Chain A
Amino acid sequence: MIRILDLHKSFGPKTVLAGVNLDIRKGETMVIIGQSGSGKSVLLKLLIGIMAPDRGEIRVDGTAVTSLRREDRLRVARRFGMLFQAAALFDSMTVGQNVAFGLERYTDLGPAEVAERVADSLAKVGLRGIERLMPHELSGGMKKRVGLARAIAYRPEIILYDEPSTGIDPIRADAINEMIILLKREMNVTSVVITHDMVSATKVADRLAMLYEGRIIALGTPDEIRRSPDPVVQQFIHGRAEGPITNW
């Protein structure tokens, strides 16, 4: 479904991605793990088209989306939903307006249908009747769930999750993990999750990929990754300070 070919991205002298190659299959949950600052978020932003790569290509169902004009890229973005790390809710809008935002742009639904879909999306993430609240009235976990409701409201085929369990307590983090699994099952979406939380990663992943020094250095099922002989992978998944990774 998504094919990433030799993707490069630098910011000034700092190289973030140095030739990423990865295939993501339709309907699977691919979790990309890696240290903070290893370029995971950049990879997600390249996938959805917020940023353009310096070199390389991203293909969605065979179409090279990286070479599309911005207008066409916006149309491709319709197929994606994205949950941002800090939810990125529009703070000048109510919860209801936030969730309706994509629906109003991507669909031809009338106001009543939009309101119904908003309520339905909020119910899917376990929040009911909070349409009139403002984002500043929500807790961190609620913000994430509203962000998720906004991402799924227009029924995208691919959902990108940027650190879904970061910044919330373990119980709420697990609730988000359950939701990722449930949405995959109910909506049959392809999911790309980036995280450095190994508990979350092994719980939701069909396959895991580890990003290190701008490249994918390991790819496989959670079991395969756990058994990887690579000392870098072992150091990361066991969260040890000692080992080949020294730039922390």
Chain B
Amino acid sequence: MERTGRASLLAGFLRQMGEVSILFAETFRNLFRKPWEKKNFLQQLEEIGARTLPVVSLTAAFGGLVFGLQTYVGFHRYIGHGSEAYGGPIISLGLTKELIPILVGLMVAGRVGSSMAAEIGTMRISEQVDALFTLGADPNRYLVVPRTAAAFLMLPCLTLFGDIIGILCGAFYNVTLMGVNGTVYIRNTLLYLQFWDVVSGLIKAAAFGILIAVIGCWQGLKAEGGAEGVGRATTRTVVIASISILIVNFFMSKFLPG
């Protein structure tokens, strides 16, 4: 009985992985086919980029502040007074490679991924997705490709913006609020923060963008059962996308060079 339950759980997991993989493959193939849904793509750039900017700014600012605070406490407590200026590179490295890409990914999963699932789920339930097909628009090209392409492009932009805000806020806490030597702090940061540290964070963000969009669209396209079904699709998108981001982040950290 227990073995049957485990087997069906595994079968369900594999089926879902298969569904996402097929959707991803179809989306990737359609990315290079014309005609492109330019209007939808531009709308999604605005939705994912410009409209997510305030929440990303706030998250990055407080991420930078708290990371700056803990680094200051660490240096002050374990190495001693005056060593806090060496925290700059650590703050920058931690923010650009790990914290900001993850925070941006989680914020976008919550704000944009859920709205993708809700919008497409509502369209599916009210037969608008079927109507697209009857009117000559492939739902994958019309709905999934523009969202995935826009998320792939905008997540690195948001992350880069978040990196700058986070680093500035970390510096603000240490230099302005705690009186750390600004010249040494900035010199150390510029000396030890490498270009690749920033780029690897942006590569992660691009991967998170694809994950969020494909998961949000997948959940929306398979939504059924009225408003309750749309609600379930929205919740699942946030949960699955958030967990996937954390898992993929670990493996990318492990296998990306540097």
Contacts and interface: CB of A to CB of B under 8 A. Distances in A.
A82 to B, nearest CB: 4
**Chain A contact residues: helix, strand, loop or mixed:** mixed
B87 to A, nearest CB: 48
Interface stretch (B66-74, B134-142, B160-168, B183-191): B134-142
B130 A74 contact: no
A77 B131 CA distance: 11
A50 interface: yes
B128 A77 contact: no
Interface residues of B, number: 12
Contacts of B128: 88-91
Contacts of A172: none
Interface in B96-154: 123, 126-128, 130-131, 133-138
Interface in A35-63: 45, 48-50
Given A84-B127, A91-B128, A50 B135 contact: no
B131 A84 contact: yes
Contacts, number: 49
Contacts of B135: 101-102, 105-106, 150
A78 interface: yes
Contacts of A50: 130, 133-134
A203 interface: no
A85 interface: yes
A85 B127 contact: yes
A86 B136 contact: no
15 contacts: A48-B133, A49-B133, A50-B130, A50-B134, A74-B136, A77-B133, A81-B134, A84-B131, A88-B127, A90-B123, A90-B131, A91-B128, A101-B135, A102-B135, A105-B137
Contacts of A86: 126-127
A66 to B, nearest CB: 15
B131 A105 contact: no
A80 interface: yes
Contacts of A150: 135
A78 to B, nearest CB: 6
Contact of A84 (B123, B130, B137, B138): B130
Contacts of B131: 82, 84, 88-90
A70 interface: yes
A106 to B, nearest CB: 5
Nearest to A71: B138
Interface in A155-207: none
A77 B136 contact: yes
A86 B134 CA distance: 15
Given A77-B133, A91-B126, 8 more contacts: A50-B130, A74-B138, A78-B136, A88-B131, A89-B128, A101-B137, A102-B134, A150-B135
